[in-house]
Amino acid sequence: MSTVTKEQIVRWLESTAAVLEANKGYLTDLDSAIGDADHGTNMDRGFKKVMEKLPTVADKDIGNILKTVGMTLISSVGGASGPLYGTFYMRGGMAADAKEELEADDLVNVLQGAVDGIIQRGRAQPGDKTMVDALLPALAALKAAVADSQDVRAGMAAAVAAAEQGMKDTIPLQARKGRASYLGERSIGHQDPGATSSHLILNALLEVL
């Protein structure tokens, strides 16, 4: 499998909505330890809105679909994660402009644009205990695997494994961005909710390939 089709992108978004609904309680529990206990409900609300919008753009190109997801998240999710994930899909969509399917290199460009967007918007560095700590290792692993095989499934499998490790590696970190940073050293010992949702989102893509 060396491309991602538009139909797979649509199924990825549907499956993301289902996974976020199923993990709503888990993500909110993680956020209750170091934040304000709303990450699960934020993500679930946002992707329910995405599901309402999806039928109106499902026949458009991948860039258009992803940009619509981004705008929907920005307008429907409060909190830090709405604008950040909104930027992720908007910038990913800009990198997929007019495309009906993604070759392996296109997929790298989409994830690169998406992750660059989050970093430019949120200014988090690696090690700040945020979603960036799952996403940057995932991007690096995707690039390396694609350079090796040009295979999108192998690339995403490597990306998801790296995201999972990055997510777990947030546990001993002290938060330096977002609400969790207000806790100072008390944020140590807890897994970051946003890194966890990032892992779930990438894993949902792997599962439709």
Residues 63-92 that bind ligand ADP (CB under 6 A): 79-81, 84
Amino acid sitting at position 50: V
Rule CB under 6 A: say whether 31 interacts with ligand ADP: yes
Classify 79 in phi/psi space as left (phi over 0), alpha (psi -120 to 50) or beta.
Answer: left
> Which two three-digit tokens encode residue 19?
């996974």
Q: Which of 20, 69, 124, 209 binds ligand ADP (CB under 6 A)?
A: 124
> Residue 8: which of ligand ADP, Mg ion, none does it interact with, CB under 5 to 8 A by kind?
none
Rule CB under 5 A: say whether 194 interacts with Mg ion: no
**111 Cβ partners below 8 Å, 6+ apart?**
92, 135, 138, 139, 142, 159
**Smallest separation (angstroms) from ligand ADP to the CB of 172:** 15
Do residues 30 and 193 touch, judged by C-beta distance below 8 A?
yes
Shorter beta-carbon distance to ligand ADP: residue 8 or 23: 23
In 3D, which of 160, 111, 164, 132 has the Cα closest to residue 4?
Answer: 111
> Which two three-digit tokens encode residue 33?
């330890």
Shorter beta-carbon distance to ligand ADP: residue 61 or 128: 128
Q: What is d(CA 142, CA 90) in angstroms, rounded to the nearest whole number? A: 20
In the chain, DSSP finds a helix count (H) and a strand count (E) of 9, 2
> Residue 166: which of ligand ADP, Mg ion, none does it interact with, CB under 5 to 8 A by kind?
none
> Residue 148: which of ligand ADP, Mg ion, none does it interact with, CB under 5 to 8 A by kind?
none
Residues 35-64 that bind Mg ion (CB under 5 A): 35-36, 38-39
**78 Cβ partners below 8 Å, 6+ apart?**
42
Q: Which of 6, 39, 99, 190 binds ligand ADP (CB under 6 A)?
A: 39
Residues forming the site for ligand ADP (CB under 6 A): 31, 35-36, 38-39, 42, 79-81, 84, 118, 122-124, 130-132, 177-179, 192-195
